[in-house]
Amino acid sequence: MAAVVAGLVLAGCAGCGGSAEPEKATRSAAAGDPKADGQPVGKLAELTVPAAYDADRGWDQELPWVRKGADTAPVAVAPVSGTVAYLVADQAEMYMQVRRATTGKVLWTSAPWTPPGTLDDSGGNDPAAIAPASVTAVNAGGREYFVAWAHGMDGKDALHDGKEIIQAVVYAADASGDAVTPLRSVDIPVRVGPAGTPQGEIVVRDGGAGRALFSWNDGYESHAATIGVASREVTTWGPDAGTVVGVTGKGPLANVSAGGFGVSGGWSSKDATPEGAAAERSAGFGSKVVNGTAETVADGKVVASWVPSKGADEDGTEETVRTVHDAATGKVLLRAECRDRTLTQPFDRDDTVLGDSVLTSASPNSRYLSYGWMLFDLQKGSAACLAAGAGGDKGRKDMLIDSVRDDGTAYGTVTGSDPRVAVEIPASTGTPKALPTGTEVPAYTPAGAGIFLTWSEGGGILVSGRAER
């Protein structure tokens, strides 16, 4: 499954129309009918998919309310249960609907939820007046939850300024029924910038320890909040906590201002500095701080980067030291070297939700983990580097991974490619292969299916499940 930062590559979709057999190839009714039961109303969209998937077996769901250029795709996958959640819109109300990933069978639909108003509109019955909403999957002790959330203004009208909030509603992934109410609804106050506008986007993901993690910046200051999906506990952190990237049973896992990362009162990266990493790194203006930066947390693992002690190579690049740690203990599970991606390439942000953004993915069986341009096999302790020129192939371009399957096959794209070039990378070799022109790559890879996100010709996005062969 792709872990989130919720925002996934979307490409164009052709051939969206026509009929199919139930449970083999279904396409749900349009999102304007939130109570749709997923019965087929047309043939499957024509998608070119990797060889591991059957383009003729699966299901489609249209989400026409999603505007092109949106920051997030309102779709999430719970890998243990093999379910897919998405948000459909009906006027100013939203509904969460959950399907079986392999067959497309609709398992449940929520009661209506009205997100807060947009940051620049007082709201009303126009769907465009509510804040854009999204959904994230969170695991708490083996039970999965879906968290719908929106960042907007509460109580704003002609007489009131309103309050900027993140509103989150929590559902159990294994719910049932056609008007499921949330287990809890939480409003998180958001710190705003000096001009009264938020500074930076809201990033939401499974933070670990059964908590949904919300993080944002107010100017140069980092802020974070978590919601316990199995409880009503809400915790917030300001700049003093550092940059919170995850949560453990002992507290937040954060990058601290003095450099390094870890869990206060738990473990410190100072005790886990890998071979080949310098003790300190430059912080600019001639100052230095402790080396080590936690990049992300996913599936109970921390991916970290370290400035190497040996300095740059002849071509001016540094083979940055990368490590994967157990988030609870700090134990190093894997060490590798991989240079950073090239930042001089043109990035495509016009035709995709997050363009060439760095995503983190974990295979459903937890053996494989990807971070941007790196693919880790945690069982073998090996890693593949997909940065430009890596592996001795000096002419090779940067690539970014979107998802990884249980068999170690990862899917991604060439950074800045136009038309977009899809690639397949087996973890066993780490050697990428370009897929045929027009091939879509799965945003999520739950067992037995691939979940593809593409732009619909008539507007919005199409969520497509395609069965494994």
Q: What is the pLDDT of residue 224?
A: 95
Average pLDDT, stretch 390-396?
82
The amino acid that residue 346 corresponds to is: P
Contact 180, 216 (CB under 8 A): no
The span from the CA of 133 to the CA of 240, in Å, is 29
Neighbours of 389 (CB within 10 A): 17
Model pTM greater than 0.85? yes
Residue-wise pLDDT tens digits, 103-137: 999 999 999 999 998 876 544 444 445 778 999 99
Q: What are phi and psi of 451, to 5 degrees?
A: -110, 120
Q: How confident is residue 391, by pLDDT bands cut at 50, 70 and 90?
A: confident
Q: What are phi and psi of 319, to 5 degrees?
A: -85, 85
Q: How confident is residue 428, by pLDDT bands cut at 50, 70 and 90?
A: very high
Compare 146 and 393 and report the one with higher pLDDT.
146
Model confidence at 313: pLDDT above 80: no
Average pLDDT, stretch 282-311?
92
The span from the CA of 182 to the CA of 186, in Å, is 10
The span from the CA of 149 to the CA of 166, in Å, is 7
The span from the CA of 77 to the CA of 146, in Å, is 9
Model confidence at 21: pLDDT above 60: no
The DSSP annotation for 189-257 comes to E----TTSS--S--EEEEEETTEEEEEEEETTEEEEEEEETTS--EEEE-GGG-EEEEEETTEEEEE-T
Domains of the chain: 2-468 (2.130.10)
Average pLDDT, stretch 89-95?
89
The DSSP annotation for 60-124 comes to EEEETTSPTT-S--SEEEETTTTEEEEEEEETTEEEEEEEETTT--EEEEEPPB-PPBPTT----
